[in-house]
Structure 1
Amino acid sequence: MDYQTVYQGAGAEIVEKKSRFISSVFPVSSEEEAMEYLEKIKKQYWDARHHCWAYVIRADRTLERLSDDGEPGGTAGKPILDVIKGAKLENVLIIVTRYFGGTLLGTGGLVRAYTSASREGLAHSTIITRIYGFKLKIQTDYTGLGKIQYILGQAGLHITDTAYTDSVELTVLVPEKEEKMVAAKITEGTNGKSIIRREGTCWFAEIDNEIKVWEQE
């Protein structure tokens, strides 16, 4: 269920034979949200000739949509979509706005320009891997703490909270696919003297060396 997406979108611009291609990248989670961003861009660049776009959205089945917005068929929307899919991104919208510079670029030139603009927009965006997993509460006595910290460290897992009383309780984010393995190692490493319980599901990602958590609705 893990997937790559844009955490923070960005804009970028390239110029090809005096035509300006301005890319705008947005994280989106629905078609309605994507269309709202498209309307904003159309208002922002109201005097541009074309607003070409594509998006990939996770749903019960993955949604893919694109538009050439008046450019020759297959020269704008498809190259934008190909960039998104080539980067293995989901829940992403890229809009490329074109100001015509007076020189026709031809189909090959248009494909290259829309591709380059899309890549440039992604290059300036923050891309993350959203991981589906669980919040685990791990309770142990003080003698088992070091072993558990070692196991979690070896697995690259993040301790989000630690409570010290007559025992120690750790809150840990664990990817779904690693939960059973981690629980088994902790149980074995502490000779069954730790208590592990699942506190809920969530999405999480590492952003600038910090962990961002999205609670599961």
Structure 2
Amino acid sequence: MDVRFTLVELALRQQEIKKSRFMAVAGPVADEAAAKDFIAAQSDPGANHNCWAWRVGQNYRFSDDGEPGGTAGKPILAAIDGQGLDRVAVVVTRWFGGILLGSGGLIRAYGGTAALCLREAEKVALIATVSGTVTCGFSELALVQARLGALPGVQVGIQAFTDNGAILTVTAPKSDAGGVERLLMDLTSGRSTMRWSQ
């Protein structure tokens, strides 16, 4: 399985190409609505063009914002995909400097500015997680909380108490779900239950 990455925070990169100024702003986005909000917030209404692209899983969109078709949005999306990124939006703003760049020049300028910005940005791996609930007795509660909480990537959350024990919410990396379940069964000699949400 490919490990995809997203950005930790906003990244910015600016360059001048034949008297036109290009500025790329890239950032992490959770979904399509967040991508649209990011584009609206980062676009400069005073600029000649605010070209953009975003990817969230299998969903993606791009815009040339008045530049010739295929010369801005697609190269920006190619920069996102070329670096194995997901849940990322990029806006490349152009202030026209009076010299026409031609189609090839535009593709290099938009795609290149986006790629420079993304290369320099701090990234973090996207790990698929699964959530579930653990039901255990009072006598095992402290041990279960301590051992599960010590596992890398595992988070033990809100608990509710029943007459016989407690119910804990657990989030774990999807690839480790089986191991978490086995550890829980071993710790409690099979007296606890683990149910993963689908």
Q: TM-score, normalised by structure 2?
A: 0.69
Mapped contact 2:148–2:156 kept (Cα < 8 A): no
Q: 1:94 to 1:86 in 2, by over 3 A?
A: same
Distance 1:16 1:9 in 2: 23
Residue 146 of structure 1: CA displacement?
Answer: 7.2
Mapped contact 1:53–1:94 kept (Cα < 8 A): yes
Distance 2:31 2:17 in 1: 32
Is it true that 1:179 corresponds to 2:180 in the alignment?
A: no
Q: 1:161 to 1:112 in 2, by over 3 A?
A: same
Distance 1:70 1:198 in 2: 52
2:114 maps to which of 113, 118, 123: 118
Q: Aligned residues: percent identity?
A: 31
Q: What residue identity is the alignment partner of 1:179?
A: A
Residue 127 of structure 1: CA displacement?
Answer: 4.1
Distance 1:186 1:36 in 2: 42
Distance 2:45 2:151 in 1: 53
Mapped contact 1:5–1:127 kept (Cα < 8 A): yes
Q: 1:28 to 1:51 in 2, by over 3 A?
A: farther
Q: What residue identity is the alignment partner of 2:84?
A: K
Distance 2:169 2:182 in 1: 17
Residue 82 of structure 1: CA displacement?
Answer: 0.7
Greater shift in the superposed pair: 33-42 or 74-83 = 33-42
Q: 1:72 to 1:133 in 2, by over 3 A?
A: same
Residue 23 of structure 1: CA displacement?
Answer: 1.1
Q: 1:155 to 1:138 in 2, by over 3 A?
A: farther
Provide the residue aligned with 1:16 in structure 2: 17
Q: Secondary structure at the match of 2:77?
A: helix
Q: What residue identity is the alignment partner of 2:74?
A: K
RMSD across aligned positions (CA):
4.0
Is it true that 1:78 corresponds to 2:74 in the alignment?
A: yes
Per-residue Cα deviation, 1:131-154 (whole angstroms, up to 9, x for no partner):
321144374787997799678757
Q: What residue identity is the alignment partner of 2:130?
A: G
Per-residue Cα deviation, 1:26-83 (whole angstroms, up to 9, x for no partner):
41512x54444434444xx22211111112234xxx3222122232332211110111
Greater shift in the superposed pair: 91-100 or 106-115 = 106-115
Q: Secondary structure at the match of 1:64?
A: strand
2:85 maps to which of 70, 89, 99: 89
Q: What residue identity is the alignment partner of 2:53?
A: A
Distance 2:130 2:84 in 1: 20
Distance 1:36 1:176 in 2: 30
Q: What residue identity is the alignment partner of 1:196?
A: T
Unaligned runs of 5+ in 2: 160-164
Residue 92 of structure 1: CA displacement?
Answer: 2.4
Residue 19 of structure 1: CA displacement?
Answer: 1.8
Q: Would you tell me which structure has more strand in proportion to its own residues? A: 1
1:123-162 alignment runs, 5 A limit: 123-124=120-121, 127-137=124-134, 139=136, 157-158=154-155
Mapped contact 1:140–1:168 kept (Cα < 8 A): yes
Distance 1:39 1:187 in 2: 50
Q: Secondary structure at the match of 2:68?
A: coil
Q: TM-score, normalised by structure 1?
A: 0.65
How many residues were matched structurally?
Answer: 194
Provide the residue aligned with 1:29 in structure 2: 31
